[in-house]
Chain A
Amino acid sequence: MSEPLSPVVVGAGPAGIRAAERLVRAGLRPIVLDEGQRAGGQIYRRPLVEDGRSYRGRYGSEAGKAQRLHQAFEALLPQIDYRPETLVWNISHSERGNQLDILSAGVHRQVDFSHLILCTGATDRVLPFPGWTVPGAYTLGASQTALKAQGCTVGDRVVFMGSGPLLYLVAWQYMRAGARVQAVLDTAPLASKRHLLALAVHAPRIVALGVFYGLQLQLAGVKIRYGVRPEAVLGTSQVEGLRYRRRTPAGEVVESIACDALAYGFALRAETQLADLAGCRFHFDERDRVWLPERDVLGRTSRPDVYIAGDGSGIAGADAAEISGELAAMALLEDAGRASADVARLVAARNRILRQRDILEQAFPFPADWFETVPAETTLCRCEEITVAEVRRTIASGSITEINRLKALSRVGMGRCQGRMCSAGAAELLSGACGVTADKVGRLRAQAPVKPIPLNFGGGKPEAWS
């Protein structure tokens, strides 16, 4: 008999649940640590209190997948060590081996692991504009979370702005939920949507759904605009509207629209701090203009005992996440000499989704002009309250060419969010100022704790649980 395995899965979304399921099938009892109160992740987030809505009502076209994933998790529960509401805030070494530092109910503990599968998911990618921190301005993901988990909307008259497939989906969900959707303001030009035609060949369902959401919104009289650039949130203590520019055949026009809430986002960004703290090697992903942990097709990282799956290893969506979670577990089992399985079918399925995703992203291109058009007075780093102007000044006066140096001299990325919200914008500003591509300015190094922890976290004595 080989060494006992003590695998830990971080995250109980689509990737984490499928990874745990595969480990259980091989006779293991993984520890599953999740920050959420209930398993399901962001996309299949479950309500804290049942509110009478059906799966169909809550998850729409994805109801079947949500239900299957939740049922799979319920079936796993007796066979896993599941710890909800648990933050993994550090990865460390000691004489004892590898540990995760976790925080649960305000208490710090350390969890040993032989193998780690990181399924840490994604958050909205934020590109600041004047007023993005005014109460009433939410990210697209947060707006959707409010609806799914709490059955409420972020406002009555809501404007949706930004880019990415979530833009139309969440707007449509809000309309269905009874909110008055004032407009969908797409930062991508209409011409970029031609890529959807190419996508329709490979993934007719995705395109059909997208077109369906768009048409339903239009039929309901919702204003849809393309090539939009936000100018400013109107209102100072509460969102009262949005002023924006857009290109028209007659030239650029500035328009305003009234609303009491704004939902915005520019696609998603992978949560990679734990992979960084684990010492995984990173590479620059051109498509998403972001540094990601290196991974092979199964999810092996550069560190032999750490695997990665789901959107935390690169944005590919929930279906790919489920597959990659299972693949990462299969790689782990194979590496530990426990099982070898035929992965070809799953790898092919995931690759198909990745190819579709590449096309889909072209329909929602990144607003590459952001760094030069964002107004100087915009707050870039909301934790440290640093404006775009201050960042530009620091870059110029210190001849800065590297992102960690920018952090040291400007405080950008030093606050509560540790750069999770501001680093995309900071990297764009820096690379733009230096006249280089975003990969040339380096990667913000992660520091523990990946999210704030209480100073008083249990007397400072970590107790390993058995």
Chain B
Amino acid sequence: MTRRLSVDVAIIGGGLVGSSAALAMRKAGLSVALIDKGYCGAQASGVNYGGVRRQGRPPEQLPLSQRAHRIWSQLGAMIGMEAEYVRSGHLKLARTEKDFAKLEAYAETVRNYGLGLELVAGSALSKRFPWLSAQAVGASLCPEDGHANPRLVAPAFARTAERAGATVLELTPVRAVAATGSGFAILAGDDIEIRCRQLVNSAGAWSDHFAAQFGEPAPLTRIYPSMVVTEPLPLRLPMSMGEQGGSFYGRQVARGNYVMGGGRGLPLADPDFSRPSVKAASSVMQRAIALFPHLADAQVIRFWSGTEAEMPDGNPVIGPSETTSGLFHAFGFCGAGFQTAPAVGEVLAELVTLGRTTTPIQAFSIGRFRKVAVETAASL
């Protein structure tokens, strides 16, 4: 029998963006349906590295990132679990003097955003971080950045939204969606019809499909992280690590495993699935031993990958559709959406209720790609 739902807002995609938007919208008193083709938080939101990091983001992302930083501090109260979130600090290493100069330049650029970056170089490095080998010439520390367990956070947001009254539809692929004049009509799963006044497209790597249906092509490409996990080891690495250039990142989780990544995985025949590449994993493993000599005898027990969405300019798409009133996009977080997503949820709730947001998001407009497309066409 057909199930009919009528809600204020339907959200396609139950990742951390969609789940946190559903919760924020319930708090604003809207009725919400959160729809996912699989399970909430099972794609990029669940398979990412788990870095809760502001450092290294381009300046235009920092207001959003700072807003998220405040939300993360309330995580436990908000979703009923800490999800292994710790403000451990994020230490970004420079392998060369040239890289260190880049870290210095970045610190200068973002000086007014309140990240509290500390630059450490030379002999001070090993004094301050004795667990690190002499493989770096300097580093930039963001003391209040940290990490969390990505597998737990988005599902907890979705469950909290559900408890707050959102209708959460998992294993429910959206088969058709169309504007109706007064809102949208959605056919989902086998027999669910949803009517809504407003629609959020937060379908991650599948978002371009929905944007295109509203005449808004989005130049999204899929990327696949390549992650390596060691066996649980005595707790020794106190902070989340990165490197200028991004070829290595790593953290030690509460259980004791080192979770490390770098490079890219490869899609399988079905591009919704992927595997880490042995080449990328080997490079991560080699770098791990160079950086942390105490890992020389460690065992790797697991690789993982997943599907994330990347935009050509490294920034996400967040904001209203330029073709369809009542439609909002939030996708393409380029492998770095985990930290900002809870703020994106709040921004989306502001957009659907007020039509505006206090957080600057102009740089994330979907229209920027239409302009590029027009200019490219004109130059031909």
Interface residues of A, Cβ cutoff 8 Å to B: 90, 92-93, 101, 108, 110, 277, 279, 384, 397-398, 402, 405, 408-409, 411, 414-416, 418, 447-449, 452-457, 459-462
Contacts and interface: CB of A to CB of B under 8 A. Distances in A.
Contacts of B295: 455-456
Contacts of B324: none
B1 interface: no
B289 A405 contact: no
Contacts of B39: 402, 405
Given A402-B39, A405-B39, A457-B285, A447 B304 contact: yes
A454 B286 contact: no
19 contacts: A90-B278, A110-B278, A279-B268, A398-B159, A405-B42, A408-B151, A408-B155, A409-B152, A414-B302, A416-B231, A418-B301, A448-B275, A452-B299, A454-B298, A455-B230, A455-B296, A456-B297, A462-B278, A462-B282
Contact of B155 (A92, A93, A398, A460): A398
Contacts, number: 81
B269 A416 contact: no
A279 B300 CA distance: 22
- Secondary structure call for the A interface: loop
Contact of B303 (A110, A402, A416, A449): A449
Interface size class of B (residues with CB under 8 A): 20 to 34
Contacts of A409: 151-152, 155
Contact of A92 (B255, B278, B286): B278
A405 B288 CA distance: 29
Interface string B253-273: 001000000000010110000
B46 interface: yes
Contacts of A101: 278
B299 A453 contact: yes
Contacts of B304: 447
B46 A408 contact: yes
Nearest to B288: A455
Contacts of A108: 282
Interface string B158-175: 010000000000000000
A236 to B, nearest CB: 22
Given A398-B155, A415-B301, A418-B301, 4 more contacts: A397-B159, A405-B39, A408-B155, A459-B286
Given A398-B155, A408-B151, A455 B277 contact: no
A447 B285 contact: no
B286 A460 contact: yes
B255 A449 contact: no
B282 A416 contact: no
B365 interface: no
B300 A452 contact: yes
B283 interface: yes
A166 B285 CA distance: 41
A92 B277 CA distance: 8
Q: 5 tightest CB-CB pairs across the interface, nearest first?
A: A460-B282, A460-B286, A452-B299, A408-B151, A455-B298
Contacts of A277: 275
Contacts of A448: 275-276, 278, 303
A453 to B, nearest CB: 5
B302 A447 contact: yes
A277 B273 CA distance: 12
Interface in B138-159: 151-152, 155, 159
A273 to B, nearest CB: 12
